[in-house]
Amino acid sequence: MSGLSCPRVALICGGPSSEAAVSRLSVGRVQAALRHHYPDLHVLELTPAIGVELHRLAPDIAFPVLHGPPGEDGTIQGLLEIMQIPYVGSGVTASALAMDKLLTKQLLKAHGIPLACDLVVKREEGIDKAVQTTLAQLGHSVVIKPRSQGSSLGTSLVRQADELEIAFREAFSVESDVLVESMVPGKEATVSVLEHPKVMSLPVIEICLPEDARLTGYGYDEKYTPGRSEHIIPARLTDHQYQLCEAYAVKAFEVLGCRDFARADFMVPDDQDPVFLELNTIPGLTPTSLLPDAAEAAGLAFDDVLVALVERALARGSAIRQNS
């Protein structure tokens, strides 16, 4: 444990994000796991007064348990940097890069990580042009998703041309820039990455959906409703595919400059290499989330993982104080 006898820890959750409800589910589980290790534990809601609240509380470290923008996109991290409060998770730049799916793909492409073909369309150009551009460049079998959102909000799997208009309307209702990717058939897999203390991948998880959800994919309900998805550990992949998922997840973590923990998602076609989808710098920590299951499969207790994350942040704070 840290050199502080009773460090004050601030958990930050909620806010105006469309994923605020998920954030509060995650923080409830984190709070329950940490309260016995850190009695001076506080939960703060992300509001315009968060700076005042943090100044009043004067925590030794902060643990942002935030999903989607604002919070997972480098904004709260920037505030914490200005206030000189050490925090769990990736820094400003890595958080901002990973939140932007297009920038993430552009960076990883240079490192040889397989990616789906894509294009970006803008709300201001209109839905008709978005449909025409998609059909001309990628065809009708695509995945349409907001450029900088998580939890599959606004995401649609499109298999027919007449489904494109509705999918674009849904995506544009969430964000003005929309990423369109060629659909990659196969198994959906995910790899959690921890610095424990060196960067390591946890067991690869295969996500299996019930029959009625396979056409729409691993969406919000499947992620957060108990029984709507099955986590198969280890994933049923070839040894080669499994090892590539691990390697690509760690490579993405390092290329983006991530810290502490993250989760990378893939589609794995039959007899082909995995295709990278996206990376989450603050993965879900709810009772139905993937990282806790991966940690358990690796023989790591959820409490121990969280304590290790807090201790890493406390150590960074100690180093800052010694150098100031």
Residues annotated as part of the active site: 19, 151, 224, 263, 265, 278, 280, 284
Torsional sign, CA 232, 223, 25, 11: positive
How far apart, in whole angstroms, are the C-alpha atoms of residue 187 and residue 51? 43
Q: From CA 79, how far away is CA 49, in angstroms rounded?
A: 12
272 HSE (CA, 13 A, CB side) = 15
Q: Which residues, in sequence order, are CB contacts of 202 under 8 Å at separation 6+?
A: 191, 192, 193, 194, 291, 294, 295, 297, 298, 300
Token pair belonging to 105: 């793909």
Are 181 and 147 within 8 A, CB to CB? Answer: no
- The one-letter amino acid code at 84 reads Q
Q: How many CA atoms lie within 13 A of 151 on its CB side?
A: 26
